[in-house]
């Protein structure tokens, strides 16, 4: 696909996703969705206030406890601090989706089937960072942005590190410490209401260790690292859609994600187990189908196949 076509697709995806996000947030009274706390933190910093004192509250519904965010998340929202909530949600989600589309299209139009995945639509619903973090895997020069949501960004960062990227992440982190040297401890002290899970610790999660059979493959390492970090169901798993190597595999993984969602609606107590079986399990099968020593892909430098599927 030519560069001009990729840019046009990215613009269209960005505009469409921004519009849908804006309409959903307004229609459901969500304002900025899960960007509410980061946006509050950015506005507090812009006003020289203490974001951890001013933004520890509840979500816009007045009921749901608001988990604190890293200071780096608030820093990322500083350029949008002066804008109204709903437009910020639409703008951030649209930019994230457009960037993701631009990166995916480099490896062929079939990669755009990622946008059929339920985790993408769940991310749109809540205005989550997973589309941006998935895009960062395709544009590793942006690796410092993994610090926006470090527990989900960590698997992406560890599979894409170079010394230059380490320095970029370190610079971003150091700047946040200049602003507030105590923020990591203050943030961790406010995360007691986090309701996520670690896939490897939820049955049948230990079976994901079978991915060690393909440890030399970047995709297997990404899968295993994702299984080790705390996360919430559905939207945080979007990065796993980088693993398929064909349209068929993408469609199977996407269909499985919708089954996990509908199954969780019918049987809420099994929601996490269904994510393990139907999302992580299918992703594991995709990884295990690849040969232990897959040939190096012939795509352009930095392409998805080269970054995740070549041996280490």
Within 13 A of 90's CA, how many CA atoms are on the CB side? 17
Contact of 172 with 178, CB cutoff 8 Å: no
Per-residue pLDDT 10s for the chain (312 aa) are 788 999 999 999 999 999 999 999 998 887 888 999 999 999 999 999 999 888 876 555 555 555 679 999 999 999 999 999 999 999 999 999 999 999 999 999 999 999 999 999 999 999 999 999 999 999 999 999 999 999 999 999 999 999 999 999 999 999 999 999 999 998 888 777 778 899 999 999 999 999 999 998 999 999 999 999 999 999 999 999 999 999 999 999 999 999 999 999 999 999 999 999 999 999 999 999 987 654 323 234 344 555 554 444
pLDDT score, position 251: 98
Which structure tokens are listed for 195? 């309701």
pLDDT score, position 146: 97
pLDDT score, position 68: 75
List of long-range contacts for 262-267, beta carbons under 8 Å, 24+ apart: 264/233
Taking each helix axis from N to C terminus, what angle separates 130-138 and 118-126, rounded to the nearest 10 degrees? 120
pLDDT score, position 308: 56
Q: What is the rounded CA–CA span in Å between residue 169 and residue 175?
A: 10
Domain hosting 211: range is 3-309
Taking each helix axis from N to C terminus, what angle separates 36-46 and 85-105, rounded to the nearest 10 degrees? 110
Q: What DSSP string runs through the chain?
A: --HHHHHHHHHHHHHHHHHHHHHHHHHTT-TTGGGHHHHHHHHHHHTT--HHHHS-SB-TTSSSB-----HHHHHHTGGGTTS-HHHHHHHHHHHHHHHHHHHHHTT-GGGGGGGGSHHHHHHHHHT-SHHHHHHHHHSGGGGGGGGGSHHHHHHHHHTT--HHHHHHHHHHHHHHHHH-TTHHHHHHHT-TT---B-GGGSTTGGGGGGGGGGTTBHHHHHHHHHHHS-B-TTGGGGGGGGS--SHHHHHHHHHHHHHHHHHHHH-GGGHHHHHIIIIIHHHHHHHHHS-TTPPPP-SPTT-HHHHHHSB-
- The number of distinct structural domains making up the chain is 1
């Amino acid at each position: 696909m030519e560069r001009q076509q990729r840019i046009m697709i990215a613009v269209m995806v960005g505009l469409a996703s921004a519009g849908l996000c804006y309409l959903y947030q307004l229609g459901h009274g969500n304002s900025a969705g899960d960007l509410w706390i980061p946006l509050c933190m950015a506005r507090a910093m812009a006003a020289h206030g203490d974001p951890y004192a001013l933004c520890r509250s509840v979500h816009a519904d007045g009921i749901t406890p608001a988990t604190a965010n890293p200071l780096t998340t608030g820093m990322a929202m500083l350029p949008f601090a002066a804008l109204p909530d709903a437009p910020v949600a639409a703008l951030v989600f649209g930019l994230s989706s457009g960037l993701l589309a631009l990166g995916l299209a480099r490896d062929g139009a079939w990669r755009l089937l990622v946008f059929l995945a339920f985790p993408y639509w769940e991310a749109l619903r809540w205005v989550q960072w997973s589309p941006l973090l998935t895009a960062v895997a395709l544009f590793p020069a942006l690796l410092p942005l993994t610090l926006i949501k470090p527990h989900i960004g960590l698997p992406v960062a560890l599979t894409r590190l170079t010394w230059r990227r380490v320095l970029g992440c370190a610079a971003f982190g150091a700047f946040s410490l200049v602003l507030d040297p105590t923020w990591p401890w203050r943030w961790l002290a406010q995360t007691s209401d986090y309701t996520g899970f670690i896939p490897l610790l939820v049955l049948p999660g230990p079976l994901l260790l079978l991915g060690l059979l393909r440890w030399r493959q970047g995709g297997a390492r990404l899968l295993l690292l994702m299984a080790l970090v705390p996360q919430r169901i559905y939207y945080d798993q979007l990065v796993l859609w980088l693993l398929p190597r064909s349209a068929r595999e993408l469609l199977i993984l996407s269909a499985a994600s919708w089954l996990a969602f509908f199954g969780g609606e019918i049987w809420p107590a099994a929601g996490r187990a269904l994510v393990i079986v139907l999302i992580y399990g299918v992703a594991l099968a995709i990884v295990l189908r690849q040969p232990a020593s897959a040939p190096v892909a012939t795509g352009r430098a930095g392409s998805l196949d080269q970054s995740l599927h070549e041996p280490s």
